[in-house]
Chain A
Amino acid sequence: MNFDFSDDQKLLRENVRSFLAKEAPLTLCRQVLETDGKYSTTLWQAVAAQGWLGTAIPEKYGGAGFGRLELAVIAEELGRVLAPIPFGSSVYLASEALLVAGTEEQKQRYLPRLSTGEAIGTLAHFEGAGDPGNRSLKSTVRNGKLSGEKTPVPDGEIADFALVTAKSGRDFGLAIVDLHTREVQREHLDSLDPSRSVAALRFERAPVEWLGGRPCGWDTLQHIFDRAAVLYAFEQLGGAQRAFEITREYTLNRYAFGRPIASFQALKHRLADWYVELELTRSNCYYGAWALSHEAPELAVAACGARVSATNTFELASKEMIQMHGGMGFTWEHDAHLFYRRARYLAAVLGPAPVWRERLVTCLERREEAS
């Protein structure tokens, strides 16, 4: 049994953590949030200089050639500091999608620039409220031109290109769109978590090519989402863990009724329950990381499990963080709302927990029928 990160990966974690402690204090997240700066270019450049953007990109495309386990380690650490950068959009979604489904020429064109941070990519799927599924999607490609509207698109304001889900007759695919062309209109939208930007993108006969050279099909999109879900789950886990540590510290040092509030069972039992959720989530995330790094057939089920678990736990963590801090936790100057906002942002950008629960049961049914 070898169900843990290796010593090398743990060393990587230590290095990433101490680097981010210096480069990405929570004040940086707050600065982006308060100035609506879209993202921290300094942190983005620092992270790029460390080579983290290309962690899982093979060396022949300019990456570091490590695996998804290393990427998961970095994701958890970025989650801990609520990093205000488009790492998820550009790495978990765009880079992974190109690696999974891109043509050789597309990989050569995009991956080197993604791994240096010169280019930012994103994936644009949602079209307003609700969940589009594969039935109600409206964006379409005709004769190599994309029309439609996507909202919200994470990092749509700052990305250089987007992979856009679209129909073409009866086919479904991911269209690669250069966002700097005239046929693309970008609109800034205020974000629930202003440390992470969202936009609306309008396409009017924008020239595109299909990721992979032809419509890839709905299952490929699901697969791309599954891969991203595992990595986002590590970010969620990191955020939930950090919220827990800050809150534990606070309850130990805050005195009320003449004693530390952590000595009251009303709080310590909830902290114990919270800790239990973190451990269960960590285990589900590890299973997702294992499935992702081994390209295992269990990936879909594992990704759903990690996603549901991590989404629930980050929400719990961010709620408890505010509640246990009392009135201070509801103020603008306290950091609790940074976690509360990020938890909900991460729950939203890849589709909410109920959709993933539904998908999980669908996958379990398929597995049962196959056996």
Chain B
Amino acid sequence: MDFNDTPEEAAFRAEARAWLEANAEPLAPGEQPASLEGRFDPEMVRKAQEWQRKKADAGWACITWPKEYGGRGATPIQAVIWSQEEARFKTPPNIFAIGQGMLGPTIMVHGTEEQKRRYLPPMLRGDEIWCQLFSEPAAGSDLAGLRTTAVRDGDDWIINGQKIWTTGAHYSKWGMIVTRTDPNAEKHRGITYFIVDMQSPGIEIRPIKQMNGMSSFNEVFFTDVRVPDRNRIGDVNDGWRCALTTLMNERHAIGGGAGGPEFRDLFRLARTVLWNGKPAIQDAGVRQRLADFYVRAKGLQYTSYRVQTALSRGQTPGPESSIGKLVGAPLRQNMAAFALDLEGAAAALLDRKAPEGALWQLAYLGSPGLRLAGGTDEILRNIIAERVLGLPPEIRVDKGIPFKDVPTGPRP
């Protein structure tokens, strides 16, 4: 048992590090990497694309992809090593993750050879940015309840409806959309998956203002949007299978919960903020809470080491890989609440004068979203219960009947 690379892994890490050192600037100690949060910024997109092209030219983009699409056929553990190394450098935020992490893999599994050759190389180079059009106002956790329709019209399909929680819709060239193509079929059987050009007439994009004041997501409205049939992924009415491939990859892509304050920030705060003239960490109650946070954060970190070990041994990680977000997101929220307790009345500030530059206030306001995006805590529990533990699903009232007869949204 150790934390060392194998000789092959060490050689790969050295190669990655050498390239990064020659092409990027290391983060200063304690410096946070650039975040995706915030308003749309064309300059940020340009910088991100520039960095992505540089990586692609040197063979460091989407390294696990096959060589024919621009990757280097790297192993999963090499991908982990690459991302560990890249995270030590100042790089623009990764605005390509949804395409490269979720949609690219879906095209690889369900797309035609022609589609793979057309879409994957520019996705890898960052020339074309992608967004995911899955959730709807009445279909979030219950994604298969989606109501956006696609109706066949000659060689085209006509799309009408609304999508929501779409990251990067406003700077994406392409979107992956799941639509209802047969409302008379059972819920999961009448769904079809398309690639849609985001510049098509009839698409309207409106940013969503989140509860923390930021806008990371959009609503996207479709009014008679035309999509050619050659942009269909998989068979007509077989889109649920493709969507599941995307969602399986989403859990890998979102898993970590990157950025934001960590235990060491909480520990620093407890050592510096004063309670009755003494550092708060001298309070026995504070110490008990700190210990529990530490044990939880470390448990998560060491669990990721176990996942990496499985990858390093060429095995598929076990179910332990599924707990990251379910633990990490509530942990962030709870640490933020505790940090604000430590700050005393100053916790009420969301101001430059707030302690630690309002680090914990921002985490407090942002963390509820982490528990919802990419699978709510409750859906993740269902996934663990059913797929990992083999427990039976809930009794369903929406199976075995045509979709159009399933009640949805507000009480009918």
Q: Name A's B-contacting residues (CB within 8 A).
A: 1-6, 69, 248, 251-252, 259-260, 262-265, 268-269, 271-273, 275-276, 279-284, 286-287, 289-290, 293-294, 304-305, 308-309, 354, 356-358, 360-361, 364-365, 368
Interface size on B, residues (CB 8 A): 54
Other-chain contact of B267, A265, A275, A305, A368 (Cβ < 8 Å): A368
Interface string of B275-306 (1 = CB under 8 A from A): 00000010010011011101110111111011
A280 touches B308 (CB 8 A): no
Q: Report Cα–Cα, A280/B308, bound state, in Å.
A: 15
- Beyond A4-B1, A69-B1, A308-B295, 10 additional contacts (C-beta under 8 Å) are A2-B1, A2-B3, A3-B3, A263-B393, A272-B385, A272-B388, A286-B306, A287-B302, A308-B291, A361-B294
A357 to B391, CA, bound (A): 35
B288 touches A357 (CB 8 A): yes
| Interface residue B53 (Cβ < 8 Å from any Cβ of A) | no
Smallest CB-CB A-B distances: 8 pairs = A280-B299, A357-B291, A283-B302, A268-B385, A3-B305, A272-B381, A272-B384, A263-B392
Q: Tell me, yes or no, whether B47 is within 8 Å of chain A by CB.
A: no
Which residues does chain A contribute within 8 Å of B127, judged by CB atoms?
none
Contacts of A309 in B (CB 8 A): 295, 299
**Chain B residues with CB under 8 A of A248:** 389, 391
**Chain B residues, Cβ within 8 Å of A251:** 391
Chain B residue numbers with a CB within 8 Å of A365 are 271, 281
Pair B302/A3 contact, Cβ less than 8 Å = yes
A260 x B392 contact (CB < 8 A) = yes
**Smallest CB-CB separation from B264: which chain A residue?**
A368
Do the beta carbons of A2 and B2 come within 8 Å of each other?
yes
Task: List, in ascending order, chain A residues with CB within 8 A of B378's CB.
Answer: 265, 269
Q: Which residues of A contact B345 (CB under 8 A)?
A: none
Q: How far is the CA of A284 from the CA of B3 in the complex (A)?
A: 14
Q: How far is the CA of A327 from the CA of B392 in the complex (A)?
A: 23
Q: How far is the CB of A224 from chain B (nearest CB, A)?
A: 21
Give the CA-CA distance A290 to B4 in the complex, in Å. 12
Interface of A: prevailing SS? helix
What residue in chain B is nearest A281 (Cβ atoms)?
B299
Fill in one digit per residue for B1-31: 1 if any A CB lies within 8 Å of its CB, else 0: 1111110010000000000000000000000
Q: With A3-B1, A364-B294 as given contacts, are A265 and B300 in contact (CB-CB < 8 Å)?
A: no
Cross-chain contact of A262 among B294, B326, B381, B392 (Cβ < 8 A)? B392
Determine which of A1, A263, A305 lies in contact with B295 in the assembled complex, contact meaning CB atoms within 8 Å.
A305
Q: Is B327 an interface residue (CB 8 A)?
A: yes
B231 at the interface (CB under 8 A from A): no
How many inter-chain contacts with C-beta < 8 Å in the A-B complex?
162
- CB neighbours (8 Å) of A286 from chain B are 1, 302, 306
Known: A4-B1, A280-B327, A368-B271. A268 touches B382 (CB 8 A): yes
**Counting CB contacts under 8 A, is B68 at the interface?**
no
Cβ contacts under 8 Å, A361 to chain B: 281, 287, 290-291, 294
B312: interface (CB < 8 Å):
yes
Whether A5 contacts B1 in the complex (CB less than 8 A), given A269-B385, A309-B295, comes out as yes
Q: Does B395 touch A at the CB level, under 8 Å?
A: yes
The residues of A that contact B319 with a CB separation of less than 8 Å are 275, 279
A-side contacts of B301, CB under 8 Å: 283
Q: Which residue of B lies closest to A262 (CB)?
A: B391
Which residue on chain B has the smallest CB distance to residue A67? B1
- B4 contacts A2, C-beta separation under 8 Å: yes
Of all chain B residues, the one with the shortest Cβ separation from A279 is: B320
Nearest-CB distance from A365 to chain B (Å)?
7
A265 with B394: in contact, given A2-B4, A357-B287 (CB under 8 Å)?
yes
B 90-133 to A, binary, CB cutoff 8 A, 1 in contact else 0: 00000000000000000000000000000000000000000000
Closest partner residue, chain A, to B288 (CB atom) = A357
- What's the Cα separation between A1 and B10 when bound, in Å? 10
Interface string of B386-403 (1 = CB under 8 A from A): 101111111100000000
A24 to chain B, nearest CB (A): 26
Tell me which of B295, B306, B381, B386 contacts A273 (CB under 8 A): B381
A358 touches B302 (CB 8 A): no
A276 to B1, CA, bound (A): 23
Residues 33 to 58 of chain B near chain A (Cβ within 8 Å): none
Cα-based distance from A304 to B306 in the complex (angstroms): 20
Residue of A whose beta carbon sits closest to that of B302: A283
* A93 CB to nearest chain B CB (Å): 23
B311-329 interface bits toward A, Cβ cutoff 8 Å, 1 = contact, 0 = none: 1110000011001001100
Contact A1 B305 (CB under 8 A): yes
| 29 A-B pairs in the complex with CB atoms less than 8 angstroms apart | A1-B9, A2-B3, A3-B2, A3-B305, A3-B309, A251-B391, A259-B392, A265-B381, A265-B382, A269-B381, A272-B326, A272-B384, A275-B323, A275-B389, A276-B327, A279-B303, A281-B299, A283-B300, A283-B302, A283-B303, A283-B320, A284-B302, A287-B298, A287-B302, A294-B2, A305-B299, A357-B292, A360-B295, A361-B281
Highest count of chain A CB atoms <10 Å: which of B6, B298, B301, B309: B298
**Min distance, Cβ A250 to any Cβ of chain B, angstroms:** 12
- Contact B384 A290, beta carbon cutoff 8 Å: no
- Within 8 Å of chain A (Cβ to Cβ): is B77? yes
Query: Chain A residues with Cβ under 8 A from B382's Cβ?
Result: 265, 268-269, 272
By a CB distance below 8 angstroms, the chain B residues around A283 are: 298-303, 305-306, 320
Bound state CA distance, A69 and B271, in angstroms?
Answer: 36
Question: How far apart sit A173 and B205, CA to CA, in the bound complex (Å)?
Answer: 73
Q: Which residues of B contact A290 (CB under 8 A)?
A: 1-3
B391 and A271 contacting across the interface, CB-CB below 8 Å: yes
CA distance A69 to B2 in the complex (A): 12
Q: Judging by beta carbons under 8 Å apart, are B384 and A276 in contact?
A: yes
Q: How far is the CB of B170 from chain A (nearest CB, A)?
A: 36
**Interface-centre pick from B9, B281, B380, B389 (highest chain A CB count, 10 A):** B389
Asked, given contacts A265-B382, A279-B320, whether A305 binds B298 with beta carbons under 8 Å apart, the answer is: yes
Pick from B1, B284, B381: contact of A358, CB under 8 Å: B284
Give complex CA distance A42, B218 in Å.
69
- In the bound assembly, the distance between CA atoms of A286 and B3 in angstroms comes to 12
Residues of A within 8 A of B389 (CB): 248, 268, 271-272, 275
CB distance from B19 to the nearest CB of A (A): 21
The CA of A158 and the CA of B231, in the complex, are separated in Å by 77
Q: Which residues of A contact B9 (CB under 8 A)?
A: 1
Q: Are A360 and B291 in contact (CB under 8 A)?
A: yes
Q: Check B385 against A271 for contact (C-beta < 8 Å).
A: yes
- Complex Cα distance A358/B294, Å? 12
With A and B bound together, what is the CA distance between A357 and B290 in angstroms? 8
State A268–B381 Cα separation when bound (angstroms). Answer: 8
Which residues from A are CB-within-8-Å of B305? 1, 3, 283
Distance (whole angstroms) from the CB of A325 to the closest CB of chain B: 16
- CB <8 Å contact, B288 and A263: no
Residues of A within 8 A of B1 (CB): 2-6, 69, 286, 289-290, 293-294
